[in-house]
Amino acid sequence: MRVAFFSPLPPERSGIADYSEALLEPLRHLAQVEVFSQASQPFDAARFDIALYQMGNNRCHGFVYESALRHAGVVVMHESNLHHLMTEITIRRGDWDAYVRECEYAGGRVAREFAERVRKLEVGPDYEGLALTRRLLEGARGVIVHSRFMESEIRAGGFGGPLAVIPHGAWIPPGDRNGFRQRLGLDEAVPLVGVFGFLKPYKRIAESLRAFRRLLRLAPEAKMILVGEPHADLPLEGMIRSLGLSASVRMVGFVPIDDFTGYLSACDIVLNLRYPTVGESSGTLLRAMGLGKAALVSDVGSFAEFPDDVCLKVPVGAGEEDTIFEYLNLLTSRPEVALALGARARDYVAQQCNWPAVAKQYAQFLEAVMEGKAWKAEEPDRSSGPVKEQTDSTVPVAEEANSTGQAGGLPHQVDSAGPASEQIPAQEMTPYLRGWAVDEESATYLEVHQTRLEKTLGLIPPGGPEDRILEMGAYMQMTPALHDKLGYGEVRGCYYGEPGRVDHRSVTSSSGETFTCEIDHFDAEKDSFPYPDEHFSTVLCCELIEHLFTDPMHLMGEVNRILKPGGHFVLTTPNIASLRGLAAILQGYHPGFFHAYLRPSETGEGDARHNREYTPREIHQLLVNSGFEVDRLETGEFRDLPHPEFRWVVHLLERYRLDSALRGDGIYAVGRKTGAVRERYPGWLYT
C-alpha cells in the first residue's frame, strides 16, 4: 500500500507535527509512506493508493487542507472546528470573498450575513459557532478521529462515510526528574505542579492559579511551573503578581521538546484542564501519563472518556476552583496516591495507546477504505493488566513505586504467553531438571542456575509436533524439557565453534530416559546461521548476548530471519541496572555481573567473560529495533535467595522517585516477530 502522508513536521510548533513524527516510524513498517510537509512539494496522485491528511486548526495546516480538497483521501480530524485555519488561508491572505463564501457554504444565509459584518470589522469571526468543516468532510473518502466525542461531532457535521476511532498515540519517554529539578533549584521532596503547552485562556490557568494559592496555605513549600508559549490574550505575569505568587510560580516559556519532557518529568502533578473544547486530544497529557504523572483533566469532550482510575476529572463551572484545590491538596499531602494514579496512567497508555498498535489500526483502516470494505477496530482490553515486576519478597517495594517509571521506566508489557506457573509448575520442573543432572558438573551448574532455568522454561510458549525450536548456547540442562514438557517436535541446539561442525549429543537421565540433539557450531556474530528462512517457531538466546564482542545486531538479524512470522524469541541476560548493580556502583565497585578478566587455564578453555551487560530498557529497544513486538519483559533472580542487604537501595530509589521496578539480577524477555529488522545499527548500541 502506497500512502501519501500530508502533515507539518518538527520544527513546526504544532502538536500535530510531533504526533505525525511519532506515527510515521511504525507506519512505515506497514506501508510505503511518502511525506508531504510543505506546500511547495510536487504531488502526483497517480503514484499512490491513498492519501492521508493530518488536519489541525492553525496556519501550519493550510497546505494540508488545500491538498485534501484537490485529492480526496482519508482525513484525520484532530478537532471538530477549522475556523481559525480558514481565517488564516482567507482573511490573512487578504481574500475576504473566499472567507464569506466559506461561511455561507457552511452555514447558509445567516452565516453569510455575519461574515459580511466581520468583513466590515463590526464583529469578530464566529470561531465557536461555525466549524467550517463541511467542504472538507464532503470530499473525504474516510475520517479518523481519536474519541467517541469526536465521532459524534463529525457525524453531526454531516459525514456519513467510513469513520475510525483510533486512540491518540502516547509517548513513553525517558525523563530526568532530579536533573530538571536541579535546574529549577528544587530538591527531591518539594511538591511541583505543572501546566504545559500553549498557555491559552481556555486552559483554565486563572482557576488553577487561584487554587494553587489556596494550596500554599497548607503546603507553603509547593511550587508551580508554566511551560509553553504565553498567549497574547492572557497577561500571565501580571496575574501571577496580583495573586502574590511570584515566589512560588515560575514561567519557563517555550522550550525544545527534550526540555519540555524533562520539565514534565520533574513534576509530581500535571494540570491539563481546558474548556471549551472542540474534541481535541492532548499530546502533552499523554506524555505526562506516559511518564507516570498524576494528572487533572476537565470532565469534558474526549477527556471525559479516560477511565476514572487513570486521571482525576474536574467538572467545569461552579465549584471548579474548589475541586482543583481539593485534588491538589490530596495529591500533595498523600504522595503515595499520586504515585499510584500515575502508575495506572502509565500502564493504561502503554497498553492502549502505544504507537505500533495505533499505526496498525491506521494501516488496517486505510486498506479497508482503499478496497471499499467495512472496518471495525478491535475492542481494547484492560483486563489482562501489566506484567508485574518479580521482586524478592524480603525487599519491601511499594506497589506504587514499583511501576511509576519516573526516571525513564519501561512500559510494562502485557503477558500474552501466560504466566509461567500455568505452563510448567515449578514443583513439576524441579525434579525433572535434577533427573538430567547426572554428573557432578551438571549438578553443580543446576544448583547455581536452577531458578533461572525454571523461570526461563516458564516463559517459552508451548509447541506442537510440527514446531521447531532452537536453543542457542545449549548446555543440555533444560534442552530435553523443550521436547518432553513443551511439546516441540524438533529440538536443535547451537554453540560457538567452527562453521559446519555438527555434534550429535546424547544424554541419559537418572531414570534411564535418553534424549538426543544435534548441536551446530558457528560464530553468532559473523556467520550466517545454517538454517533456512522462517524455519523455527521459537528461538532461545539464554545468557549468551552479554558475551558478544562486536556485533549483537548480526545475531538479532539472523534470529529474525530464521523465525517464522509471529514466532517467538526468548532472551535472558544479566541486568546491569539491578539492585545489586546499583549497590555496587554507589559504593565504588563495578556493577557488572561477570566483568573480571579470566586467568589463562592450562587447557586454554573456560567460560567467556561478559563483554557488555544490558538494562531492561536496552533489551526492550534491542527487540524493537530487530523487528519484534515485546510480549513480556520482566526481571527476577538467578537464585531464589533473600536480599535484605538491598533495602537501603530501594529506599533511595523511592526517596528520589526513581523506578524501583525491573531491578532483579536477570532480565527475562519474550519478543514476537512482527516484521524485518528495523535498524541494523541502532545509535544507542553502535557508534
Look at residue 92 and tell me whether its pLDDT is greater than 50. yes
Q: How confident is the model at residue 446 (pLDDT cuts 50, 70, 90)?
A: confident
**Is residue 395's pLDDT more than 50?**
no
- Strands 74-77 and 163-165 turn out to be unpaired
State in Å, rounded, how far the first CA of the chain is from the last one. Answer: 34
Is residue 213 classed as helix, strand or coil in its secondary structure? helix
Q: What is the mean pLDDT of residues 228-256?
A: 94
Q: State the Cα–Cα distance between residues 413 and 410, nearest whole angstrom.
A: 8
Residue type, 654: E
Residue 598 is given by DSSP the state P
Nearest CA to 402 among 416, 394, 412, 417?
A: 412
Measured at the alpha carbon of residue 293, what is the angle toward residues 290 and 297, in degrees to the nearest 5? 95
- Residue 541: strand pairing partners: 472, 571
Three-class DSSP category at 199: strand
* Sequence ranges of the domains in the chain: 2-82+133-165, 177-350, 399-673
578-605 average pLDDT score: 87
Measured between alpha carbons, how far is residue 451 from residues 292, 448, 640 in Å?
32, 8, 6
* pLDDT of 676 over the 60 cut: yes
> Could you give the residue ranges of the DSSP H alpha helices within 47-95?
62-70, 83-89
Instruction: Tell me which long-range contacts 150-154 makes (C-beta under 8 A, separation of at least 24).
Output: 150/77, 150/79, 150/80, 150/279, 150/302, 153/80, 153/278, 153/279, 154/77, 154/80
Is it true that domain 2-82+133-165 has CATH number 2.60.40.60? no
Tell me which of 154-158, 320-324, 602-606 is least confident. Answer: 602-606
Is the model's pLDDT at 576 over the cut of 90? yes
Q: Does the pLDDT value for residue 672 go beyond 50?
A: yes
Buried b (16+ CB within 10 A) or exposed e, 227-243: bbebeeebebeeebeee
Say which DSSP state 202 is in: G
Under CATH, what is the fold of the domain 399-673?
A: Rossmann fold (3.40.50)
The whole-model pTM stands at 0.81
Please state the rounded mean pLDDT for residues 492-503.
95
Q: What is the pLDDT of residue 427?
A: 62
List, for residues 329-375, the tens digit of each pLDDT value.
999 999 999 999 999 999 999 989 999 999 999 999 999 999 999 88
Q: What is the pLDDT of residue 232?
A: 85
How far apart CA 445 and CA 451 sit, in angstroms, is 11
CATH fold of the domain at 177-350: Rossmann fold (3.40.50)
Q: How does residue 639 score in pLDDT terms, banded at 50, 70 and 90?
A: confident
The mean predicted confidence, pLDDT, of the chain is: 90
- What pLDDT is recorded for position 255? 93
- Based on the number of CB atoms within 10 Å of its own CB, is 405 exposed (0-12), middle (13-18) or buried (19 or more)? buried
- Provide the pLDDT confidence category of residue 530 given band limits of 50, 70 and 90: very high
For residue 13, pLDDT over 60 is answered with yes
pLDDT at 487 over 60: yes
Closest CA to 350 of 317, 382, 318: 382
d(CA 425, CA 457): 10
* pLDDT score recorded for residue 237: 94
> Edge to edge, what strands does the sheet with 2-6 contain?
32-36, 2-6, 50-55, 74-77, 142-145, 163-165
Instruction: Give the type of residue at 652.
Output: L
DSSP 380: P
What integer pLDDT is reported at residue 442 of this predicted model? 85
C-alpha cell at 214: 489556596
pLDDT of residue 413: 40
399-673 shares the fold of 2-82+133-165: yes
Q: Copy the grid coordinates of residue 383.
A: 483486563
Q: What is the pLDDT of residues 250-296, one digit of tens each?
A: 999 999 999 999 999 999 999 999 999 989 999 999 999 999 999 99
Q: Which residues make beta-bridge pairs with 514? A: 508
The DSSP annotation for 546-584 comes to GG-SS-HHHHHHHHHHHEEEEEEEEEEEEBTTSHHHHHH
Residues 6+ apart with CB under 8 A from 290: 170, 171, 172, 173, 346, 349, 350, 411
**Is residue 432 over pLDDT 60?**
yes
Helices (H), 313-424: 320-333, 335-352, 355-371, 399-402, 420-423
| Residue recorded with cell 555434534 | 503
Does 681 have pLDDT greater than 90? yes
CA 594 vs CA 137, 215, 559, 640: distances in Å: 62, 51, 25, 19
Whole-number pLDDT of residue 606: 62
pLDDT over threshold 50, residue 605? yes
Query: CA-CA distance, 528 to 546, in Å (whole number)?
Result: 20
Q: What is the mean pLDDT of the segment spanning 627-636? A: 94
pLDDT for residue 424? 60
Per-residue CA distances from 46 to 4, 71, 624 (Å):
11, 10, 34
pLDDT at 398 over 60: no
Helices (H), 9-49: 15-27
Looking at residue 166, its pLDDT comes to: 97
User: pLDDT tier at 421 (50, 70, 90 boundaries)?
Assistant: very low
Structure confidence at residue 426 (pLDDT)? 59
The cell 537421565 sits on which residue?
A: 509
- How big is the chain by its Cα radius of gyration, in Å? 29
pLDDT in tens, 543-570: 999 999 999 999 999 999 999 999 999 9
Report the pLDDT value the prediction gives residue 422, as an integer from 0 to 100: 45
pLDDT given for residue 384 in this prediction? 37
Residue 393: band (very low, low, confident or very high) from pLDDT cuts 50, 70, 90: very low
